[in-house]
C-alpha cells in the first residue's frame, strides 16, 4: 500500500501581548473591539464577577456592537465542570454564535480555564481574550494557554492548550477582592520566585505582609515579574513536554489536597501547602539544601496555616489522589522540585522525577507536625 504524507503549513503564531496597567479596564472595550475585528463578541463571567465587571464591560461593548451577549455561570471551583461547559456552549450556539466569534473571559482562574476550554472546542476553535480579576489569575492562570475542567478523578484532567489573543490586566480591580483571594493568589507569586527568580522570592519574603495585604507597590511587582517569568517558560515549552513542568512545583500535592478536601480550599491555599510539602520533599531526597527549605516552609507557614489545612487528611488518601495527577507516568506520581531557590532540578531529563512514596510521606509528616527542617 502507498504511503501518503500530510504536509501542513506552519500554524498561526501563538504569541500575544499581556497588557498590565492600573486603570486598564476602562480601555478594555476598545482593546477587545480591535482584537475582535468583525467577529461577534460574547462576554462570559461567573455570577460574582459579572456583577462587578462583566455586566459593565458587556454594556460598554453593546454600544457599538448590540449583538454582544453576556453569559453567566455559578461561581466557584465546583462549577468548573463538563456540565457547566455544555451549558455555556448551548447558550452560545442557541444565540447563533459561529466560528466568527470572540469570547471574553472576565474573572478568576475558574472563569479563564473554563472559557478558554470552550473557545478551544467551539466550532473546533475560536479566539478568546483573558480579563483576569484575581491575583492568582493575573500572576498565573491567565497566561500560558492551559484550559481545562475538573472531573471526579481530579483537577484539570480534561482540557486543551489554547492561547488567548491577549491578556488585559488591571491591578486596580484587586481592590474589590476579598483578603482570602489575595492570600491565595500570592502563593503563585512566591512560587515563581522559587522556580526562577531568587531576588523576587527574597523581595516577597521581606514584604510578605504587604503582598498579603494587597499593597499596590508589592502587588505590581508580583504581577509583572510573574507574567515575565511565566511568559519566558511558556515560550520555551508551550505544551508542557518538559521545561514547562517547573511551573507545577507545589501543584502535585496542591491538586491532590483540593480533591481530598472536596474543593473547600481555594486553589492558592492548597498551593501554599503544596509548596511547603514539596520543598520538604526536595530536602528529603537531597535536592534542596536545608536553609533554602526552611526559608520556603517559613514563608508558606506565615502566609497560611499549613497544619490546619492538613488536619484530618489521610496521607494515604492524599497519595492516592496524587496518582490521578496529569503528570503521572506509568502509575508513578511525578514532582517538579527545586535544587535551590531560583533554580529547578532537571529531574530525569524532563524537569520532573518520581521519588519514593516513603519520602513523600515523611515530607507530609514534617509539615503536619510543624517541622521546618529535618
Which residue in 188, 278, 283, 284 is the catalytic one?
A: 188
Which residue in 39, 79, 183, 267 is the catalytic one?
A: 267
Which residue in 40, 79, 191, 244 is the catalytic one?
A: 244
Instruction: With cut-offs at 50, 70 and 90, classify the pLDDT of residue 33.
Output: very high
Do 128 and 199 belong together in one domain? no
Asked if residue 373 has pLDDT above 90, the reply is no
- Convert the pLDDT of each residue in 262-291 to its tens digit: 999 999 999 999 999 999 999 999 999 999
Do 311 and 331 belong together in one domain? yes
In a domain, 10, yes or no: no
- Convert the pLDDT of each residue in 109-146 to its tens digit: 999 999 999 999 999 999 999 999 999 999 999 999 99
- Give catalytic status of residue 59 as yes or no: no
Do 96 and 199 belong together in one domain? no
Do 197 and 332 belong together in one domain? yes
- Give catalytic status of residue 244 as yes or no: yes
- Convert the pLDDT of each residue in 86-106 to its tens digit: 999 999 999 999 999 999 999
Which residue in 3, 12, 38, 124 is the catalytic one?
A: 124
Which CATH number do you get for residue 190? Answer: 1.20.1090.10
In a domain, 190, yes or no: yes
pLDDT score, position 324 = 80
Do 143 and 200 belong together in one domain? no
Which residue in 165, 240, 278, 284 is the catalytic one?
A: 240
Final residue of a domain: which of 139, 157, 175? 175
Mean pLDDT of 153-174: 95
Do 218 and 338 belong together in one domain? yes
In a domain, 169, yes or no: yes
pLDDT score, position 374 = 66
pTM of the model: 0.93
- Give catalytic status of residue 334 as yes or no: no
Range of the domain at 263: 178-342+349-368
Instruction: With cut-offs at 50, 70 and 90, classify the pLDDT of residue 293.
Output: very high
Mean pLDDT of 312-322: 94
Mean pLDDT of 182-209: 98
Asked if residue 13 has pLDDT above 70, the reply is no
Mean pLDDT of 327-344: 90
> Cα(188)–Cα(183) distance, rounded to whole angstroms?
10
pLDDT score, position 267 = 96
Mean pLDDT of 36-53: 98
Do 310 and 205 belong together in one domain? yes
Do 356 and 218 belong together in one domain? yes
Instruction: With cut-offs at 50, 70 and 90, classify the pLDDT of residue 371.
Output: confident
- Convert the pLDDT of each residue in 216-246 to its tens digit: 999 999 999 999 999 999 999 999 999 999 9
Do 79 and 224 belong together in one domain? no
Total domains in the fold of the chain: 2
Which residue in 80, 146, 183, 334 is the catalytic one?
A: 146
- Convert the pLDDT of each residue in 350-367 to its tens digit: 999 999 999 999 999 999
Alpha carbon of 186 to those of 15, 23, 222, 260, 291: distances in Å?
26, 21, 8, 22, 22
Do 133 and 189 belong together in one domain? no
Which residue in 248, 261, 269, 284 is the catalytic one?
A: 248
pLDDT score, position 330 = 72
pLDDT score, position 218 = 97
- Give catalytic status of residue 188 as yes or no: yes
Which residue in 251, 295, 327, 366 is the catalytic one?
A: 251
Q: What integer best gives the mean pLDDT of the chain?
A: 95
- Give catalytic status of residue 248 as yes or no: yes
In a domain, 330, yes or no: yes
pLDDT score, position 2 = 81
Asked if residue 27 has pLDDT above 70, the reply is yes
Do 228 and 314 belong together in one domain? yes
Instruction: With cut-offs at 50, 70 and 90, classify the pLDDT of residue 325.
Output: confident
Asked if residue 12 has pLDDT above 60, the reply is no
- Give catalytic status of residue 5 as yes or no: no
Which CATH number do you get for residue 48? Answer: 3.40.50.1970
Do 138 and 66 belong together in one domain? yes
- Give catalytic status of residue 191 as yes or no: no
Mean pLDDT of 17-23: 96
In a domain, 122, yes or no: yes
| Percent of the residues in the chain that have a pLDDT greater than 70, as a whole number | 98
- Give catalytic status of residue 123 as yes or no: no
The vertex-325 CA angle with 224 and 251, nearest 5°, equals 30
Mean pLDDT of 61-87: 98
Amino acid at each position: 500500500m502507498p504511503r501518503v504524507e500530510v504536509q501542513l503549513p506552519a500554524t498561526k503564531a501563538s504569541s500575544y501581548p499581556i497588557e498590565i496597567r492600573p486603570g486598564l479596564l476602562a480601555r478594555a472595550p476598545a482593546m477587545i473591539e480591535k482584537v475582535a475585528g468583525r467577529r461577534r463578541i460574547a462576554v462570559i463571567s461567573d455570577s460574582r464577577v459579572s456583577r462587578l465587571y462583566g455586566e459593565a464591560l458587556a454594556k460598554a461593548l453593546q454600544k457599538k456592537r448590540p449583538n454582544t451577549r453576556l453569559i453567566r455561570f455559578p461561581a466557584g471551583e465546583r462549577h468548573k465542570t463538563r456540565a457547566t461547559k455544555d451549558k455555556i456552549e448551548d447558550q452560545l450556539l442557541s444565540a447563533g454564535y459561529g466560528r466568527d466569534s470572540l469570547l471574553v473571559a472576565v474573572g478568576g482562574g475558574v472563569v479563564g480555564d473554563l472559557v478558554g476550554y470552550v473557545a478551544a472546542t467551539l466550532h473546533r476553535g475560536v479566539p478568546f481574550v483573558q480579563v483576569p480579576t484575581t491575583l492568582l489569575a493575573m500572576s498565573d492562570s491567565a497566561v500560558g494557554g492551559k484550559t481545562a475542567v475538573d472531573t471526579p478523578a481530579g483537577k484539570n484532567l480534561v482540557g486543551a492548550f489554547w492561547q488567548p489573543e491577549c491578556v488585559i490586566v488591571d491591578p486596580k480591580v484587586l481592590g474589590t477582592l476579598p483578603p482570602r483571594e489575595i492570600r491565595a493568589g500570592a502563593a503563585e507569586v512566591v512560587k515563581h520566585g522559587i522556580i526562577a527568580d531568587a531576588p523576587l522570592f527574597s523581595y516577597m519574603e521581606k514584604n510578605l505582609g504587604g503582598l498579603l495585604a494587597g499593597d499596590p507597590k508589592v502587588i505590581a511587582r508580583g504581577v509583572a515579574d510573574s507574567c515575565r517569568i511565566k511568559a519566558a517558560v511558556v515560550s520555551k515549552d508551550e505544551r508542557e513536554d518538559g521545561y514547562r513542568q517547573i511551573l507545577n512545583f507545589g501543584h502535585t500535592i496542591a491538586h491532590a489536597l483540593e480533591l481530598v478536601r472536596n474543593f473547600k480550599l481555594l486553589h492558592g491555599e492548597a498551593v501554599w501547602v503544596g509548596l511547603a510539602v514539596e520543598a520538604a520533599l526536595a530536602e528529603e531526597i537531597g535536592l534542596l539544601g536545608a536553609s533554602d527549605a526552611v526559608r520556603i516552609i517559613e514563608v508558606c507557614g506565615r502566609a497560611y496555616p499549613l497544619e490546619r489545612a492538613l488536619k484530618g487528611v489521610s496521607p494515604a488518601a492524599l497519595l492516592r489522589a496524587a496518582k490521578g495527577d496529569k503528570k503521572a507516568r506509568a502509575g508513578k506520581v511525578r514532582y517538579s522540585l527545586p535544587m535551590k531557590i531560583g533554580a529547578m532540578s532537571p529531574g530525569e531529563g524532563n524537569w520532573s522525577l518520581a521519588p519514593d512514596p516513603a519520602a513523600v510521606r515523611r515530607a507530609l509528616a514534617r509539615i503536619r507536625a510543624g517541622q521546618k527542617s529535618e
